[in-house]
């Protein structure tokens, strides 16, 4: 059984027990989060596709940690002007563990 959820403008394929990194959420570590934007639900031969979302499927997860991604270097360089500026950036991500994918009866 798996589902495809949308969070942070991105789509993620999730299964029960899976740990993944998503864009930063405002919730605290240890809190439970419910994702309502479910695009697809597959359970064996049973497949449900949302248009755009499924209203009867909920995905619950627990926030495990807030981590930083790999560093990205930004270099602005102007040739023959003796001008160069180097910056770095590390985006924060939230690590979540999928606890349950629940299909509610209609």
The model's pLDDT over 69-87, given as tens digits with 9 standing for 90+, comes to: 999 999 999 999 999 999 9
Strand order in the sheet with 2-7: 10-15, 2-7, 38-43, 46-49
Q: Domain residues of the chain, as ranges?
A: 2-103
pLDDT at 36 over 90: yes
DSSP, collapsed to helix, strand or coil, labels residue 90 as coil
In this prediction, residue 106 carries a pLDDT of 66
Q: pLDDT value at position 95? A: 97
Which pLDDT does position 105 carry in this prediction?
Answer: 77
Could you tell me if 57 and 97 are in contact, meaning their C-beta atoms sit under 8 angstroms apart?
no
- Average pLDDT, integer, range 11-17: 97
Q: For residues 106 and 96, what is the distance between their CA atoms, to the nearest angstrom? A: 28
Tell me the C-alpha distance between 94 and 45, whole Å: 32
The secondary structure of residue 28, as a DSSP letter, is: P
The alpha carbon torsion through 106, 63, 51, 105 (nearest 10 deg) reads: -10
The answer to whether residue 104 scores a pLDDT higher than 90 is no
Q: Which pLDDT does position 99 carry in this prediction?
A: 97
Q: Tell me: pLDDT of 29 over 80.
A: yes
Share above pLDDT 70 across residues of the chain, in percent, rounded to a whole number = 99
For 100, phi then psi, to 5°, come to -155, 140
């Amino acid at each position: 059984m798996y589902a495809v959820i949308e969070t942070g403008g991105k789509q993620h394929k999730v299964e029960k027990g899976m740990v993944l990194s998503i864009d930063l959420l405002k919730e605290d570590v240890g809190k439970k989060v419910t994702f309502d934007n479910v695009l697809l639900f597959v359970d064996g031969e049973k497949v449900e596709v949302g248009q755009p979302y499924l209203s009867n499927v909920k995905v619950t997860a627990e926030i495990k940690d807030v981590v930083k991604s790999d560093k990205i270097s930004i270099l602005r360089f102007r040739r023959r002007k003796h001008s160069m500026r180097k910056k770095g950036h590390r985006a924060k991500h939230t690590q979540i563990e999928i606890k349950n994918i629940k299909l509610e009866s209609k």
